[in-house]
Amino acid sequence: MLEDVQGMVRLGLLLLAVVVLRKFIDWRRAAASVNNLPGFRTLFSDRFVWFPFRVDGISPGLQSEVNLYRKYKDFEEAGWDIMAGVSVLPSAEVTVFLADPVVVKDVIGARARFPKPMGPYKILLAFGPNLVASEGEEWKRQRKLVAPAFSEKNNKLVWDETVRIMEDLFDNVWGSKDTVEIDNITDLTVPITLLVIGVAGFGRRISWKDEAVAPDGHQMTFKQALHIVSRNLFLQLMFPRWLLRWGLPVMRNFYTASNELQFYMQEMIVARRTAEVKEERHDLFSSLLDANEGLAESGEKLTDDGLLGNVFIFMVAGYETSAHTLAYCFILLALYQEEQEKFYQSIKQVLSDGHTPTYEEFSTLSYSMAVFNETLRLFPPVITIPKQSAEDTSFTTTNAAGEKRTIPVPKGTYVTVHTPGLHNNSKYWEDPDAFKPARFLKDYPRDCFLPFSGGPRGCIGRGFSETESIAVLTLLIARYRVEVRPEPQFAGETFAQTRARLLKSKLSVTLYPQRAPLVFKRR
């Protein structure tokens, strides 16, 4: 009996050794496929969500957050603006990371040669097919139907409604207060962008004091449901629906919120389709609905699921990206008072008589755009832009010494545009760690700046986000100075420690600061 057990143990160890050897051979073969390009050599890949931490030889960590803090450092250590991550599990595979603007431009411009792998985007199919989570012919069809919604008329609506919302904040919420303390800056920026997307996205004009109580037939307000879903969307990817319904409180809350959001969207669709009087409207939702029904005879139309899916994407991407970028803007302006003063003086120069800027004056607010762009350079909402090679190809890059290296890229290789590496590449950006908005007032390396991706798949809502954000930044800084709110427990901090604390970030759908208490003082 003992001999039988020992024999089974030996057999098991032999099989294990064979598996380990096979994995090792596959891993070596994968590294050789890219000519052993320096980079990460780990047990788990960066896509292995169950081990999100960075441990040398074990895992590079989830690239979304690691990349933000490491920025260009991993490329410096590798010695090239292209590096390779080679992992053992879940299977031996290679990811080629790019911080070379010449190669990046080629990759994002060649949609057919480098399509996006759809796996990471499954999370965005929660409410239906949509533009972001599509590829190939389906993407072309979606783009054709969706693009007309993002018009100049919509941008003007965004500006006008953002101004109205900010003036409502100043007059009816902050009122006569000379000092307004904010526990966390996202407590201010998230409601602003929620109100904007409510009216410019869906024709739901809401004031700061509306929607405190859920309407009849709903368990949550529209604002609550949208915020909970977008902040916890990763749960949709990690757990089945039945577990979300019966799991931990945070899971049940997300399940309820996602159902509520679908109910709200379905109600809006029914209300618009059955309205007796058809108004001319320029919000995104109405434009989508009009385009959908107007193209029905030609056979080119969004399905109801497709309409719902794109509405969802606009809601999440349209408010969260702007909310978080604005949060980073105010944190950086609070930290860098000299830069804030330059910004304020530029606003005074443009609005010398103190009038409220109109949409027609958008192009004159160049310093506002510079602050916005410099923030996006340091904190891009999209940390990695995933692609996959559809054919055998190669990349050629040059190191700091001027040496060239050609890297083979076999068909099927994951190719990731490393946005923080690109945005902080010291070959192209002077003093890349510094917050210097003025660098965007002159010629800058445009191929090294991809906060909204680029090429054919560049973000379709870029104009919406820029219009809203410039209005918010300009109006707030014109009236208030923003400062770091002092807290006794952090009284002995250095500037570097304060900066690191306020800019400590996490990732939901996009990147966001965890906690940044600020104070706004009337000028």
Which DSSP string do the residues of 63-83 spell out, in sequence order?
Answer: HHHHHHHHTTHHHHHHTSSEE
Cis, bond preceding 215 (omega within 30 deg of 0): no
Question: What local confidence, expressed as pLDDT, does residue 298 receive?
Answer: 45
Q: What angle do CA 397, 402, 407 make, to 5 degrees?
A: 25
CA distance 418 to 385: 7
149 in Cβ contact with 295 (< 8 Å) = no
> Domain 136-337+460-522 maps to which CATH number in 1.10.630.10, 2.160.10.10, 3.30.420.40, 1.10.10.10?
1.10.630.10
**pLDDT (tens digit, 0 to 9) for every residue of the chain, 523 residues total?**
666 666 777 777 778 787 778 878 878 888 888 888 998 888 877 665 556 667 777 777 765 556 677 889 989 999 999 999 888 877 778 889 999 999 999 999 888 899 888 766 666 776 677 777 777 777 787 787 777 778 888 889 899 999 999 999 999 999 989 999 999 999 999 889 988 887 777 777 777 776 667 888 898 888 788 778 877 777 876 788 888 888 888 889 999 998 888 888 778 777 777 766 555 667 777 777 766 665 444 456 767 777 777 777 777 777 788 999 999 999 999 999 999 999 999 999 998 888 899 999 999 999 999 999 999 999 998 888 889 999 999 999 988 888 899 999 999 999 999 999 999 999 999 999 999 999 999 999 999 999 988 877 778 888 889 999 999 999 999 999 999 999 989 888 999 999 999 999 887 767 889 999 999 999 9
Residue with tokens 């917050």: 435
Question: What local confidence, expressed as pLDDT, does residue 295 receive?
Answer: 46
Question: What local confidence, expressed as pLDDT, does residue 293 receive?
Answer: 65
Structure-token pair, residue 25: 């051979």
Question: What local confidence, expressed as pLDDT, does residue 432 receive?
Answer: 95
Count, residues in the chain: 523
Instruction: State the maximum Cα–Cα separation within the chain, in Å, rounded to a whole number.
Output: 96
Q: Is 383 helix (H, G, I), strand (E, B) or coil?
A: coil
Annotated binding-site members for heme: 459
> How do the residues of the chain divide into helix, strand and coil, expressed in percent and rounded to 5?
55, 15, 30
Q: What is the pTM of this model?
A: 0.88
377 in Cβ contact with 451 (< 8 Å) = yes
* C-alpha torsion sign, points 104, 110, 114, 116: positive
Question: What local confidence, expressed as pLDDT, does residue 52 receive?
Answer: 63
CA distance 177 to 330: 19
Q: Is 260 helix (H, G, I), strand (E, B) or coil?
A: helix
Scored b (16 or more CB within 10 A) or e, 476-497 reads bbbbbbbbbbeeeeeeeeeeee
Which DSSP string do the residues of 309-323 spell out, in sequence order?
Answer: HHHHHHHHHHHHHHH
Annotated binding-site members: 459
